[in-house]
Structure 1
Amino acid sequence: MRPTPADPAARNAYLAEGNATQARKRVAADVLLRDPNGRVLLVRPTYKPGWDLPGGMAEANEPPHDAATRELREELGLAVTLRDVLVIDWVAPHGPWDDQISFIFDAGTLGEDQAAGIRPRDDEVAEVAFLFPERAGELLPSRLRDRFHAALRALADGRPRYLHDAQPIR
């Protein structure tokens, strides 16, 4: 039975029950960060093989853009102001993971000195590199590569992309 608007305590109890039983999504928030030469920053994590975009997983009740800026600060010592969202991707369950929502934000272009000074700041990142987009795309895992290319297209034409498992919705 649904409560009436005249009974706020019953309505809150109803909403709390829904909150406890509805699906929750994991959220990943990455960034596209460039240097003055048009290269993009990749990181090589210590906890999984290969290269990745800077960013990471959101904590409980953390907005995606705050997660991305927190991860950049923790892992690379960078304080950036994010611009627009470039990509929102619904990622289907895979391996041991449930589904998730993955974001890529435009983090702009660093100055030469700031870009040259980027180093890993915690034990989750083994290495960082600015690479031209073509090379960066070659190093990323296929699902992330497709998301990365969508982010580059969104950056070029100013139109964010909504993807389903890294593929455009047609």
Structure 2
Amino acid sequence: MTDPIDQEAAYRSFIARLNERLPTKRVIAQGTLCNERGEVLLCELTYKREWDLPGGVVDKFESPAACLAREVAEELGTAVQVGELLTTTWLPPYRGWDDAVLFLFDLGRVPSAWVEGLILQVREIVAVHWVAVEDLDNHVAPYAARLLRAALTPAPRAYLEDGLPPVSADD
């Protein structure tokens, strides 16, 4: 009869080998914060041309919701209540980045003046801006504009690919 301790050690060794060899995927958590006019808060970043939603890359062993709360606290100097998941999207490789999965959460509505109390992390955030949905194409990457338009509809899809509904085998 095999010793249960030996079985557990063998199992953990097997899982460790799988963890070393299986692919990993970058996970991103972002949030939509809107004002009373329905405009979306976008961050002007130091490290890329396009503006982006608040959020960032999920750390190992961190949940997407916890990541979003942490990133907003670090980069905007404020606490937010992470609300419902609006949608998820798979992002194909883009400008040298590998593919990723993005979780987009609702951060609620605040008055426009709310941004006056923010303390921006100058290493990453140049400024924040309220942007109308119809003006997104002038400020964000194409995938982000598609994602936001899809997510801000009355009944967003649970899953997108590159900000669009996935193409089925029948299409």
1:9 and 1:121 map into 2 onto residues whose CA distance is 45
Query: Secondary structure of 1:168's match?
Result: coil
Q: Tell me what 1:166 maps to.
A: 163
CA 1:48–1:89 in 2, change beyond 3 Å: closer, same or farther? same
TM-score by length of 1: 0.86
Distance 1:69 1:13 in 2: 34
Contact 2:115/2:128 (8 A) holds in 1: no
CA RMSD in angstroms, aligned pairs only: 2.2
Find the residue that maps to 1:108 and give its secondary structure. strand
**1:59–1:122: structure 2 CA closer, same or farther, 3 Å change rule?**
farther
Output the CA distance in 1 between the equivalents of 2:74 and 2:109.
19
Which segment is superposed worse, 110-119 or 30-39?
Answer: 110-119
| Maintained 8 Å contact 2:36/2:111 | yes
**Stretches of 4+ aligned residues off by more than 3 angstroms:** none
Structure 1 position 15 matched with structure 2 position 30 = no
Contact conserved, 1:150 with 1:161, CA < 8 A, in 2? no
1:133 aligned onto 2:133: yes
Percent identity of equivalent pairs: 33
> Partner residue of 2:120?
120
Does the CA contact (< 8 Å) of 2:29 and 2:55 recur in 1?
yes
* Cα distance in structure 2, aligned partners of 1:146 and 1:71: 23
Matched to 1:45, the amino acid is: L
In structure 1, list runs of 5 or more residues that go unmatched. none
Write the distance in 2 (CA, Å) between the matches of 1:112 and 1:147: 23
**Inter-CA distance 149–123: structure 2 relative to 1 (3 Å threshold):** same
CA contact (8 A) 1:28 1:103 kept: yes
Give the aligned partner of residue 44 of structure 1.
44
